[in-house]
Structure 1
Amino acid sequence: MIEIKNIKKIFGDRTILDDISAVMEAGKCNLIIGTSGSGKTVLTKCMVGLFRPEEGEIHYDNKDMLQMNNDDRKLLRQQIGMLFQGTALFDSMTVEQNVLFPLDMFTNWSVAEKRKRVNEVLDRVNLKDAHKRYPSEISGGMKKRVGIARAIVLNPKYLFCDEPNSGLDPQTSLVIDKLIKEITVEFNITTIVVTHDMNSVMEIGDHIVYLHQGRKQWEGSNKDIIFSKDELLNKFIFASEFLQDAKEMRMMEMNGLNKKSL
């Protein structure tokens, strides 16, 4: 679990984040959504320690990261997995070498132990035959899966995903969403996903924080969105007339079902 309390971040004379609080639970996909410039990226950078907020607390399982010494903070970072927007794979390394990289950096395991772990995670993301291929030789969806394998190879308690579906077609995006959801539940990971993808919001949004101009505008689940009366959220999620009509039809359908169940 990650709990953020009253986070405030200022750059120059601009307040980027203003009094944001939320609890990100383990075993759930916690999504941070909002328009460009709403503060999503700054918030996540504060959460992983790249930025230090002017005010507030960031608790990892009841321990405030902002009060940790350097050794404790280093240990915490080893428990954090990162899936970057562009995957950030090393082009000169094979798939296997990319996934090995965190193990080489942070463990004293034997070569056999490392290779066994790499095989396990590549098999888990359905890439058991891609070990010797280079990033240039695989598809965008496969690169994302390599990125996920590398992010979980150290058995992290916390997983941060920055726009995991960026550049992917809708069908492949659903595959990546499903994989992130499965891994989150299977290993009881506290997963934080920053996304613009509304399919992701509706598919895996167990817990959603919607930011607007640096403040928390709305919080709830993907099921709550259908019945939300927050005007700013509805304009963001259901931007087109088609989606607005789809929401109204879904509300009517769900209300009808609710009445039948009484």
Structure 2
Amino acid sequence: MIEIRNIKKSFGDKTILYDISATMQAGKCNLIIGASGSGKTVLTKCMVGLFTPDSGDILYNGESMLQMPEEERKQLRQKIGMLFQGSALFDSMTVEQNVMFPLDMFSGLSYREKKKKVNEVLDRVNLKEANKKYPAEISGGMKKRVGIARAIVLNPKYLFCDEPNSGLDPQTSLLIDKLIKEITTEYKITTIVVTHDMNSVMEIGDYILFMHKGYKQWEGSNKEIIYSKDEKLNEFIFASEFLQDAKQMRMLEDSEKKK
């Protein structure tokens, strides 16, 4: 679990985050959504320690990251997995070498043990035969799965995903969402997903934090979002007439069922 308590962040005289508080639950997909410039990236960078908040606190399982000694922070960072927007694979390395990279950096395992671990996570993301391929030889969806395998190879307690469906077709996006959800539940990871993808919001949004111009505008689940009366949230989520009509239809159907 990650608790964000009254986080404020400014750069010069420009305030980016205004008193943000939220709780990201273990075993859940916690989504941060909002338009460009809403502050979600800055908030995420505060959460992983790349930025230091001006005030407030960030607690990992009840312990303040901001007050930890540097050695404890290093240990915490090893419990954090990252799935980057463009997958960020090393082009000159094979799939196997890419996934093994965190093990080379942070584990004292033998090569045989690392190879076994790599095979396990590649099997988990359905890439059993891809070990010796290079990133240029695999599809965008496969690259994302390699990125997920690399992110979980150290058995992280926390997983941060930055726009995991960026550049993917709708069908592949759904497969990536399903995989993230399965891994989150299976390993009881606290997963934080920064996304613009409304399919992801509706499919895997156990908890959704909607940010607007640096403020926490709304929070809730994908089940609650349909019934939200927050005007700014509805403008963001149901921007098109088609989606507005779909929302109205869903609300009518649910209303009929309750009668």
TM-score with structure 1 setting the length: 0.98
Q: Post-superposition shift, 1:254?
A: 1.1
Question: What stretches of structure 1 move > 3 A for 4+ residues in a row?
Answer: none
- The whole-number CA distance in structure 2 between the counterparts of 1:101 and 1:138 is 19
Q: Which residue of 2 aligns with 1:4?
A: 4
Counterpart of 1:194?
194
CA positional deviation for 1:257: 1.5
Question: Following the alignment from structure 1 to structure 2, what is the Cα–Cα distance between the partners of residues 130 and 254?
Answer: 45
Q: Matched residues, percent identical? A: 78
| Residue 71 of structure 1: aligned partner | 71
User: Could you tell me which amino acid in structure 2 is paired with residue 108 of structure 1?
Assistant: G
Structure 2 residue matching 1:67: 3-state secondary structure: coil
Q: Does 1:170 align with 2:200?
A: no
Residues 176-214 of structure 1 show CA distances to partners (whole Å, capped at 9, x for unaligned) of 000000000000000000000000000000000000000
Secondary structure, counterpart of 2:52 in structure 1: coil
Rounded to whole Å, the distance in 1 between the matches of 2:102 and 2:110 is 14
Q: Which amino acid aligns with 2:144?
A: K
Q: Which residue of 1 aligns with 2:59?
A: 59
| In 2: Cα distance, 1:255 partner to 1:61 partner | 40
- Superposition TM-score, scaled by structure 2 size: 1.00
What CA RMSD, in Å, does the superposition of the two structures yield over aligned residues? 0.4
Q: Which amino acid aligns with 1:13?
A: D
Letter in 2 for 1:179: L
1:185-224 equivalence runs, <5 A: 185-224=185-224
One-letter code aligned to 2:117: R
AA aligned to 2:182 is E
The letter of the residue matching 2:152 is: I
How far off its partner does 1:256 sit?
Answer: 1.4
1 CA distance for matches of 2:189 and 2:7?
23
Give the partner amino acid of 2:226.
I
The alignment partner of 2:66 has SS state of helix
Taking the aligned partners of 1:125 and 1:78, their CA distance within structure 2 comes to: 21
How far off its partner does 1:29 sit? 0.2
* 1:1-262 superposed matches below 5 A: 1-259=1-259
Structure 1 residue runs of 5 or longer lacking an equivalent are none
AA aligned to 1:160 is F
Cα shift at 1:258: 2.2
Q: Which amino acid in the other structure matches residue 58 of structure 1?
A: I
| Distance in structure 1 (CA, Å) of the matches to 2:55 and 2:187 | 32
Cα distance in 2 between the residues matched to 1:255 and 1:88: 46
Q: Deviations over 1:15-66 (max 9, x none)?
A: 0000000000000000000000000100000000000000000000000000
Instruction: Give CA deviations for 1:120-145 in whole Å, capped at 9, x if unaligned.
Output: 00000000000000000000000000
Deviation at 1:240, TM superposition (A): 0.3
CA distance in 1, matches of 2:59, 2:65: 6
Letter in 2 for 1:37: G
In structure 1, how many angstroms separate the alpha carbons of the residues matched to 2:202 and 2:257?
20
For 2:50, what is the secondary structure of its paired residue? coil
Displacement after TM superposition at 1:156 (Å): 0.1
Equivalent position SS for 2:208:
strand
**Rounded Cα–Cα distance in structure 2 between residues aligned with 1:62 and 1:110:** 34
Q: Distance in 1 between matches of 2:121 and 2:130?
A: 12
Distance 2:156 2:199 in 1: 26
Deviation string, structure 1 residues 155-192 (Cα, Å, up to 9, x no partner): 00000000000000000000000000000000000000
| Count of residue pairs brought into register by the alignment | 259
